[in-house]
Structure 1
Amino acid sequence: MRRGEGTMIRLTVVLLTIASVARTGVCTRLPYSTHYDYIDVDQVLNNSRLYTKYFECLMGQGKCTPEAKELRDKLPEALQTNCGICSERQAKESHKVIRFLINQRPEDFKMLEAKYDPSGLYMKRYQEEMKLNGAFS
Protein backbone atom coordinates (compact mmCIF):
# COMPACT_ATOMS: atom_id res chain seq x y z
CA MET A 1 0.00 0.00 0.00
CA ARG A 2 1.28 3.43 -0.87
CA ARG A 3 1.58 5.95 1.90
CA GLY A 4 -1.17 8.24 0.55
CA GLU A 5 -3.76 5.54 -0.01
CA GLY A 6 -4.77 5.20 3.63
CA THR A 7 -5.33 8.91 3.78
CA MET A 8 -8.65 8.68 2.10
CA ILE A 9 -9.91 7.15 5.26
CA ARG A 10 -10.15 10.67 6.35
CA LEU A 11 -12.46 11.35 3.58
CA THR A 12 -14.79 9.60 5.94
CA VAL A 13 -13.96 12.39 7.34
CA VAL A 14 -14.65 13.80 3.75
CA LEU A 15 -18.21 13.51 3.90
CA LEU A 16 -18.04 12.64 7.46
CA THR A 17 -17.92 16.17 8.23
CA ILE A 18 -20.46 17.13 5.80
CA ALA A 19 -21.73 16.86 9.29
CA SER A 20 -19.51 19.17 11.30
CA VAL A 21 -16.38 19.65 13.35
CA ALA A 22 -18.38 20.37 16.44
CA ARG A 23 -19.29 17.39 18.48
CA THR A 24 -22.89 17.43 19.49
CA GLY A 25 -24.24 15.08 22.08
CA VAL A 26 -22.48 12.47 24.12
CA CYS A 27 -21.37 9.33 22.41
CA THR A 28 -20.66 6.13 24.31
CA ARG A 29 -18.93 4.40 21.40
CA LEU A 30 -15.19 4.12 21.09
CA PRO A 31 -13.54 6.69 18.80
CA TYR A 32 -12.53 5.75 15.27
CA SER A 33 -9.04 4.36 14.92
CA THR A 34 -6.31 6.97 14.57
CA HIS A 35 -4.10 4.48 12.75
CA TYR A 36 -4.07 6.60 9.57
CA ASP A 37 -3.94 10.05 11.15
CA TYR A 38 -0.30 10.53 10.13
CA ILE A 39 -1.17 10.47 6.43
CA ASP A 40 -1.06 13.69 4.42
CA VAL A 41 -4.58 14.29 3.07
CA ASP A 42 -3.23 16.88 0.63
CA GLN A 43 -1.20 14.16 -1.06
CA VAL A 44 -4.34 12.16 -1.84
CA LEU A 45 -6.40 15.16 -2.89
CA ASN A 46 -3.70 16.32 -5.27
CA ASN A 47 -2.92 12.89 -6.72
CA SER A 48 -5.50 12.24 -9.42
CA ARG A 49 -4.95 8.49 -9.46
CA LEU A 50 -5.36 8.06 -5.70
CA TYR A 51 -8.25 10.49 -5.50
CA THR A 52 -10.12 8.72 -8.32
CA LYS A 53 -9.55 5.31 -6.77
CA TYR A 54 -11.11 6.34 -3.46
CA PHE A 55 -13.89 8.36 -5.05
CA GLU A 56 -14.94 5.38 -7.16
CA CYS A 57 -14.92 3.15 -4.09
CA LEU A 58 -17.10 5.59 -2.15
CA MET A 59 -19.52 5.73 -5.05
CA GLY A 60 -19.62 1.93 -5.34
CA GLN A 61 -18.12 2.08 -8.83
CA GLY A 62 -14.74 0.48 -8.33
CA LYS A 63 -12.63 -1.87 -6.29
CA CYS A 64 -11.85 -0.81 -2.75
CA THR A 65 -8.66 -1.15 -0.82
CA PRO A 66 -9.26 -2.28 2.78
CA GLU A 67 -8.76 1.34 3.89
CA ALA A 68 -11.23 2.72 1.36
CA LYS A 69 -13.77 0.05 2.29
CA GLU A 70 -13.45 1.03 5.94
CA LEU A 71 -14.00 4.66 4.98
CA ARG A 72 -17.07 3.77 2.94
CA ASP A 73 -18.44 1.62 5.76
CA LYS A 74 -17.90 4.23 8.50
CA LEU A 75 -19.13 7.23 6.55
CA PRO A 76 -22.89 6.87 7.17
CA GLU A 77 -22.38 6.53 10.93
CA ALA A 78 -19.97 9.45 11.02
CA LEU A 79 -22.54 11.61 9.24
CA GLN A 80 -25.31 10.54 11.59
CA THR A 81 -23.25 11.25 14.70
CA ASN A 82 -21.91 14.55 13.36
CA CYS A 83 -18.41 13.08 13.49
CA GLY A 84 -19.02 12.58 17.19
CA ILE A 85 -16.41 9.86 17.58
CA CYS A 86 -13.81 11.30 15.20
CA SER A 87 -10.44 12.34 16.54
CA GLU A 88 -9.65 16.07 16.47
CA ARG A 89 -7.33 15.53 13.53
CA GLN A 90 -9.94 13.52 11.62
CA ALA A 91 -12.51 16.26 12.10
CA LYS A 92 -10.04 18.96 11.00
CA GLU A 93 -8.90 17.03 7.96
CA SER A 94 -12.46 16.21 6.98
CA HIS A 95 -13.25 19.91 6.74
CA LYS A 96 -10.23 20.34 4.51
CA VAL A 97 -11.54 17.59 2.26
CA ILE A 98 -15.03 19.07 2.13
CA ARG A 99 -13.69 22.52 1.22
CA PHE A 100 -11.55 20.91 -1.48
CA LEU A 101 -14.51 19.03 -2.91
CA ILE A 102 -16.80 22.05 -2.87
CA ASN A 103 -14.20 24.35 -4.44
CA GLN A 104 -12.17 22.03 -6.70
CA ARG A 105 -14.43 19.08 -7.49
CA PRO A 106 -18.02 20.37 -7.22
CA GLU A 107 -19.46 17.66 -9.48
CA ASP A 108 -17.87 14.94 -7.36
CA PHE A 109 -19.16 16.65 -4.25
CA LYS A 110 -22.71 16.70 -5.66
CA MET A 111 -22.53 12.97 -6.42
CA LEU A 112 -21.22 12.14 -2.95
CA GLU A 113 -23.83 14.37 -1.37
CA ALA A 114 -26.61 12.69 -3.39
CA LYS A 115 -25.41 9.27 -2.24
CA TYR A 116 -24.63 9.99 1.42
CA ASP A 117 -26.86 12.99 2.21
CA PRO A 118 -29.86 12.88 -0.14
CA SER A 119 -32.06 14.88 2.26
CA GLY A 120 -29.43 17.61 2.73
CA LEU A 121 -29.56 17.27 6.51
CA TYR A 122 -25.83 16.81 7.06
CA MET A 123 -24.83 19.54 4.63
CA LYS A 124 -27.18 21.96 6.38
CA ARG A 125 -25.54 21.15 9.72
CA TYR A 126 -22.09 21.60 8.20
CA GLN A 127 -22.99 24.97 6.68
CA GLU A 128 -24.44 26.21 9.96
CA GLU A 129 -21.31 25.19 11.85
CA MET A 130 -19.04 26.84 9.29
CA LYS A 131 -21.07 30.06 9.45
CA LEU A 132 -20.71 30.08 13.24
CA ASN A 133 -16.96 29.66 12.85
CA GLY A 134 -16.74 32.23 10.05
CA ALA A 135 -15.25 29.62 7.72
CA PHE A 136 -18.04 29.11 5.20
CA SER A 137 -19.73 31.63 2.97
Structure 2
Amino acid sequence: MGHLTIVLLAAAFEVLTGSRAYTTHYDYIDVDQVLNNTRLYTKYVECLLGQGKCTPEARELRDKLPEALQTNCARCSERQASESHRVIRFLIQNRQEDFKLLEAKYDPSGLYFKRFEEETKRNVSLS
Protein backbone atom coordinates (compact mmCIF):
# COMPACT_ATOMS: atom_id res chain seq x y z
CA MET A 1 0.00 0.00 0.00
CA GLY A 2 1.48 3.34 -1.02
CA HIS A 3 2.01 6.35 1.22
CA LEU A 4 -0.70 8.33 -0.59
CA THR A 5 -3.22 5.51 -0.07
CA ILE A 6 -2.50 5.44 3.67
CA VAL A 7 -2.91 9.22 3.92
CA LEU A 8 -6.20 9.09 2.01
CA LEU A 9 -7.50 6.23 4.18
CA ALA A 10 -6.57 8.12 7.34
CA ALA A 11 -8.32 11.25 6.06
CA ALA A 12 -11.42 9.24 5.10
CA PHE A 13 -11.49 7.62 8.54
CA GLU A 14 -11.34 11.04 10.21
CA VAL A 15 -14.20 12.31 8.05
CA LEU A 16 -16.35 9.24 8.60
CA THR A 17 -15.77 9.01 12.33
CA GLY A 18 -15.68 12.74 12.97
CA SER A 19 -12.51 12.23 14.97
CA ARG A 20 -10.84 15.45 13.86
CA ALA A 21 -10.64 17.97 16.64
CA TYR A 22 -12.03 21.47 16.28
CA THR A 23 -9.53 24.14 15.40
CA THR A 24 -7.73 25.65 18.37
CA HIS A 25 -7.09 28.78 16.30
CA TYR A 26 -9.43 30.84 18.50
CA ASP A 27 -8.51 29.33 21.87
CA TYR A 28 -6.60 32.51 22.72
CA ILE A 29 -9.86 34.40 23.31
CA ASP A 30 -10.23 35.61 26.88
CA VAL A 31 -13.68 34.25 27.72
CA ASP A 32 -13.92 36.39 30.87
CA GLN A 33 -13.37 39.51 28.80
CA VAL A 34 -16.24 38.54 26.48
CA LEU A 35 -18.60 37.60 29.32
CA ASN A 36 -17.86 40.76 31.31
CA ASN A 37 -17.93 43.23 28.42
CA THR A 38 -21.54 44.03 27.54
CA ARG A 39 -20.74 45.12 23.97
CA LEU A 40 -18.68 41.99 23.15
CA TYR A 41 -21.07 39.67 24.94
CA THR A 42 -24.08 41.12 23.09
CA LYS A 43 -22.34 40.74 19.71
CA TYR A 44 -21.64 37.05 20.38
CA VAL A 45 -25.21 36.35 21.53
CA GLU A 46 -26.69 38.22 18.55
CA CYS A 47 -24.50 36.19 16.20
CA LEU A 48 -25.45 32.90 17.85
CA LEU A 49 -29.11 33.80 17.61
CA GLY A 50 -28.80 34.86 13.96
CA GLN A 51 -29.71 38.44 14.83
CA GLY A 52 -26.51 40.27 13.96
CA LYS A 53 -23.18 40.25 12.22
CA CYS A 54 -20.61 37.70 13.28
CA THR A 55 -16.91 38.06 13.86
CA PRO A 56 -14.89 35.13 12.48
CA GLU A 57 -14.59 33.76 16.02
CA ALA A 58 -18.31 34.00 16.72
CA ARG A 59 -19.14 32.48 13.31
CA GLU A 60 -16.88 29.51 14.05
CA LEU A 61 -18.64 29.05 17.39
CA ARG A 62 -22.08 29.35 15.80
CA ASP A 63 -21.20 26.85 13.09
CA LYS A 64 -19.72 24.25 15.46
CA LEU A 65 -22.15 24.64 18.37
CA PRO A 66 -24.89 22.25 17.17
CA GLU A 67 -22.43 19.41 16.60
CA ALA A 68 -20.56 20.13 19.84
CA LEU A 69 -23.83 19.90 21.75
CA GLN A 70 -24.87 16.68 20.00
CA THR A 71 -21.54 14.97 20.63
CA ASN A 72 -21.01 16.33 24.15
CA CYS A 73 -18.03 18.27 22.84
CA ALA A 74 -16.27 15.09 21.64
CA ARG A 75 -14.09 17.04 19.20
CA CYS A 76 -13.35 19.87 21.62
CA SER A 77 -9.92 20.46 23.07
CA GLU A 78 -9.68 20.31 26.87
CA ARG A 79 -9.71 24.10 27.02
CA GLN A 80 -12.75 24.34 24.73
CA ALA A 81 -14.71 21.83 26.82
CA SER A 82 -13.75 23.54 30.07
CA GLU A 83 -14.57 27.02 28.77
CA SER A 84 -17.89 25.88 27.30
CA HIS A 85 -18.98 24.53 30.68
CA ARG A 86 -17.91 27.78 32.32
CA VAL A 87 -19.92 29.81 29.78
CA ILE A 88 -23.02 27.66 30.31
CA ARG A 89 -22.75 28.13 34.09
CA PHE A 90 -22.32 31.89 33.59
CA LEU A 91 -25.41 32.07 31.37
CA ILE A 92 -27.53 30.06 33.78
CA GLN A 93 -26.43 32.11 36.80
CA ASN A 94 -26.22 35.59 35.25
CA ARG A 95 -28.05 35.75 31.94
CA GLN A 96 -31.12 33.52 32.25
CA GLU A 97 -33.02 35.21 29.41
CA ASP A 98 -30.13 34.79 26.98
CA PHE A 99 -29.70 31.19 28.11
CA LYS A 100 -33.37 30.48 27.40
CA LEU A 101 -33.14 32.03 23.92
CA LEU A 102 -29.99 30.05 23.10
CA GLU A 103 -31.48 26.88 24.53
CA ALA A 104 -34.64 27.34 22.43
CA LYS A 105 -32.52 27.68 19.30
CA TYR A 106 -29.86 25.02 19.93
CA ASP A 107 -31.51 22.59 22.36
CA PRO A 108 -35.31 22.90 22.13
CA SER A 109 -35.84 19.40 23.57
CA GLY A 110 -33.59 20.13 26.56
CA LEU A 111 -31.59 16.95 25.92
CA TYR A 112 -28.13 18.53 25.85
CA PHE A 113 -28.75 20.75 28.87
CA LYS A 114 -29.97 17.72 30.83
CA ARG A 115 -26.72 15.91 29.94
CA PHE A 116 -24.75 18.97 31.09
CA GLU A 117 -26.61 19.01 34.42
CA GLU A 118 -25.94 15.29 34.96
CA GLU A 119 -22.26 15.68 34.12
CA THR A 120 -21.97 18.65 36.45
CA LYS A 121 -23.55 16.66 39.31
CA ARG A 122 -21.18 13.75 38.65
CA ASN A 123 -18.14 16.04 38.66
CA VAL A 124 -19.23 17.69 41.91
CA SER A 125 -19.74 14.32 43.61
CA LEU A 126 -16.28 13.17 42.46
CA SER A 127 -14.58 16.24 43.96
Classify the secondary structure of the residue corresponding to 1:51: helix
Cross-structure match for 2:116: 126
Instruction: Provide the aligned length of Structure 1 versus Structure 2.
Output: 109
Larger radius of gyration: 2
After superposition, the C-alpha distances for 1:6-56 in whole angstroms (9 at most, x for unaligned) are xxxxxxxxxxxxxxxxxxxxx542100111212210000000000000100
Cross-structure match for 2:105: 115
Q: 1:28 to 1:61 in 2, by over 3 A?
A: closer
RMSD across aligned positions (CA): 1.2
Classify the secondary structure of the residue corresponding to 2:98: helix
CA distance in 2, matches of 1:40, 1:55: 16
Cross-structure match for 1:68: 58
| Counterpart residue type for residue 68 of structure 1 | A
| Counterpart residue type for residue 102 of structure 1 | I
- The answer to whether the Cα contact below 8 Å between 2:26 and 2:57 also exists between their aligned partners in 1 is no
Identity of aligned residues (%): 77
Within the candidate set 18, 36, 39, 1:46 is matched to 36
Classify the secondary structure of the residue corresponding to 1:84: coil
Classify the secondary structure of the residue corresponding to 1:60: coil
Runs of 4 or more above 2 Å deviation = none
Return 5+ residue gaps in structure 1 as ranges: 1-26
- The answer to whether the Cα contact below 8 Å between 2:47 and 2:62 also exists between their aligned partners in 1 is yes
1:1-137 to 2 correspondences below 5 Å: 28-134=18-124
CA distance in 1, matches of 2:51, 2:32: 23
Classify the secondary structure of the residue corresponding to 1:55: helix
CA distance in 1, matches of 2:65, 2:78: 16
Kindly indicate whether structure 1 or structure 2 has the higher relative contact order, using CA contacts under 8 Å at least 6 residues apart.
1
CA distance in 1, matches of 2:44, 2:80: 17
Which protein is richer in helix relative to its size?
2
| Counterpart residue type for residue 54 of structure 1 | Y
TM-score with structure 2 setting the length? 0.82
Instruction: Note the C-alpha offset of 1:101.
Output: 0.3
TM-score with structure 1 setting the length? 0.76
